[in-house]
């Protein structure tokens, strides 16, 4: 075998695997190889942490037998093992398979892992050339990926303006620009609607927000204001202040009726919101909802409970925004005292809605109240059908906007069905 290091560069898993397989040509009796096709799983099951857990699950083979585990360029994992019976390897592979039992690739499949497309088996005594060809192909793919990545990286660097990424050095500059800019042209509203099959979507209330898509182009062209989520969270306080100042103006009073504002905990207990609440009477705003980010609610429970009591006393409804859908069964609405909760559409929700978590999700939505759970970022028919299968009746997103446009005015038939 060649050295693990060429010059100062550490060999990749693909290179180590290829070297080892070439060395095995004369010693292949008793060797099995299995390629675990992680690349066929849904994208949300292909993150680095998933591959690390696969490696951990395969550790008994490494400890008990002469085995190696390699993560290759397409996210697949290759197990190379000598001295183990097929049943020994299967026992570990079935545990791996169980980890991804929610994925459509493995859902409702039974039998030995090697009998489905998730695992490709090679008996090196008879399949050596096939496996060697496969490993060489994986190495070529790695080299092509490296070349493509290098080309794209260079192209991005050549297009990027100095300081285009948000960082502490330009954050202050961006804050000052936001404070001075006229943000009225990036103010948006989006309806949250109740859906009844065959009927026009019924708007329940609407969210008022600044479009992040246009913010950078309006304030500082070339800046990616969401490039660092922690710095952006700090920047959100400045945006909240501008939002409150803008919609306090008389020409925006009609927009406030049945509106919701997405604010931080620090904002709703700060002087800007107190001034907004003083200027905008209950008659002007009617029933207004305040959306608080779930990440802050759970990180600062004391601040949340204080803000909740203040907002309720002032007549606002409370929405917890951005709750991961698998946390819904852990949410106690009576204890937290919110009126509505928002979960976001993701492909993972489609899998979980028909997998082992489906019953828990439906029960959680029933317990919270189907009229109190909003599925936001709904951009496809699938999002609607999955949400309805779980008992959700409130939706927000691009497909809802399109449905409202298709229906036109009240009582107009839609131009296309959902």
Could you tell me the residue ranges of all domains in the chain? 5-156, 168-407
Q: Are the beta carbons of 267 and 241 closer than 8 angstroms?
A: yes
Q: What is the pLDDT along the chain (418 residues), one digit of tens a residue?
A: 444 444 555 788 888 999 989 998 888 888 999 999 999 998 888 888 898 899 889 988 988 888 899 988 788 999 999 988 899 999 999 999 988 888 888 875 544 454 478 999 999 999 999 999 999 998 888 877 765 544 444 544 444 444 456 666 667 777 777 777 788 888 999 999 999 877 889 999 999 998 877 777 777 676 666 666 666 777 788 889 999 999 999 888 889 989 999 999 999 999 999 999 988 877 778 889 999 999 999 999 999 999 999 999 999 999 999 999 999 999 999 999 999 999 999 989 998 998 889 999 999 999 999 999 999 999 999 999 999 999 999 999 999 999 998 887 443 333 333 3
344: three-class secondary structure by DSSP? strand
Dihedrals φ, ψ of 314, to 5°? -90, 0
Tokens of 145: 């990926």
The C-alpha atoms of residue 364 and residue 358 are separated, in whole angstroms, by: 10
The C-alpha atoms of residue 12 and residue 6 are separated, in whole angstroms, by: 11
Burial class (CB in 10 A: 0-12, 13-18, 19+), 56: exposed
- Which CA distances in Å does 76 have to 10, 51, 67, 147? 20, 8, 17, 20
pTM of this structure: 0.74
The C-alpha atoms of residue 192 and residue 182 are separated, in whole angstroms, by: 27
Q: Are the beta carbons of 319 and 263 closer than 8 angstroms?
A: no
Do 168-407 and 5-156 have the same topology in CATH?
no
Tokens of 159: 């297009």
Alpha helices in 256-408 (DSSP H): 265-268, 271-279, 282-285, 294-299, 301-313, 333-336, 347-352, 358-368, 381-389, 398-407
The distance of Cα 26 from the centroid of its chain, to the nearest Å, equals 47
Encode 272-304: b = buried (16+ Cβ within 10 Å), e = exposed.
bbeebbeebeeeebeebbbbbbbebbeeeeebb
Question: Residues in the chain, how many?
Answer: 418
Q: So what's the pLDDT on residue 105?
A: 87
The C-alpha atoms of residue 238 and residue 176 are separated, in whole angstroms, by: 9
118: three-class secondary structure by DSSP? coil
Pairing of strands 9-10, 66-71: unpaired
Burial class (CB in 10 A: 0-12, 13-18, 19+), 33: buried
Q: So what's the pLDDT on residue 227?
A: 64
In terms of CATH, what superfamily is 168-407?
EAL domain (3.20.20.450)
Q: So what's the pLDDT on residue 229?
A: 65
360: three-class secondary structure by DSSP? helix
The C-alpha atoms of residue 39 and residue 46 are separated, in whole angstroms, by: 7
The topology (CATH level 3) of 5-156 is Alpha-Beta Plaits (3.30.70)
């Amino acid at each position: 075998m060649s050295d693990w290091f060429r010059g100062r560069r550490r060999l990749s898993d693909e290179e180590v695997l290829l070297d080892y397989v070439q060395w095995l040509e004369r010693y292949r009796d008793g060797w099995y190889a299995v390629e675990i096709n992680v690349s066929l799983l849904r994208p949300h099951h292909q993150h680095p942490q998933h591959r690390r857990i696969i490696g951990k699950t395969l550790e008994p083979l490494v400890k008990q037998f002469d085995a190696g585990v390699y993560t290759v360029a397409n996210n697949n994992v290759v197990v190379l093992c000598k001295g183990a019976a097929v049943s020994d390897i299967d026992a570990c592979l079935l545990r791996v398979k169980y980890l991804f039992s929610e994925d459509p690739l493995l859902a409702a499949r039974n039998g030995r892992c090697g009998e489905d497309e998730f695992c490709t088996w090679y008996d090196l005594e008879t399949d050596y050339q096939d496996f060697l060809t496969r490993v060489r192909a994986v190495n070529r793919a790695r080299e092509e990926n490296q070349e493509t990545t290098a080309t794209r990286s260079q192209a991005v660097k050549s297009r990027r303006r100095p300081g285009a990424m948000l960082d502490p050095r330009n954050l202050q500059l961006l804050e000052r620009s936001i404070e001075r800019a006229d943000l009225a042209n990036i103010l948006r509203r989006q309806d949250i609607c109740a859906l009844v099959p065959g009927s026009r979507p019924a708007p329940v209330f609407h969210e008022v927000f600044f479009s992040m898509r246009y913010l950078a182009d309006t304030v500082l062209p070339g800046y990616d204001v969401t490039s660092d989520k922690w710095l952006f969270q700090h920047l959100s306080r400045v945006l909240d202040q501008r939002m409150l100042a803008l919609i306090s103006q008389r020409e925006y009073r009609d927009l406030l009726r049945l509106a919701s504002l997405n604010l931080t905990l620090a904002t709703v207990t700060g002087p800007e919101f107190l001034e907004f609440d003083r200027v905008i009477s209950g008659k002007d705003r009617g029933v207004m909802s305040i959306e608080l980010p779930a990440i802050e609610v759970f990180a600062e429970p004391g601040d949340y409970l204080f803000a909740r009591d203040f907002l309720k006393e002032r007549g606002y409804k409370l929405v917890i925004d951005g709750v991961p859908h698998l946390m819904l069964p852990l949410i106690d609405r009576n204890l937290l005292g919110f009126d509505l909760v928002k979960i976001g559409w993701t492909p993972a929700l489609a899998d979980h809605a028909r997998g082992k978590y489906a019953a828990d999700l439906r029960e959680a939505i029933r317990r919270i109240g189907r009229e109190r759970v909003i599925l936001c970022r709904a951009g496809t028919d699938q999002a609607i059908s999955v949400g309805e299968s779980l008992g959700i009746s409130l939706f927000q997103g691009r497909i809802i906007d399109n449905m409202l446009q298709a229906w036109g005015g009240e009582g107009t038939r839609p131009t296309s069905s959902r």
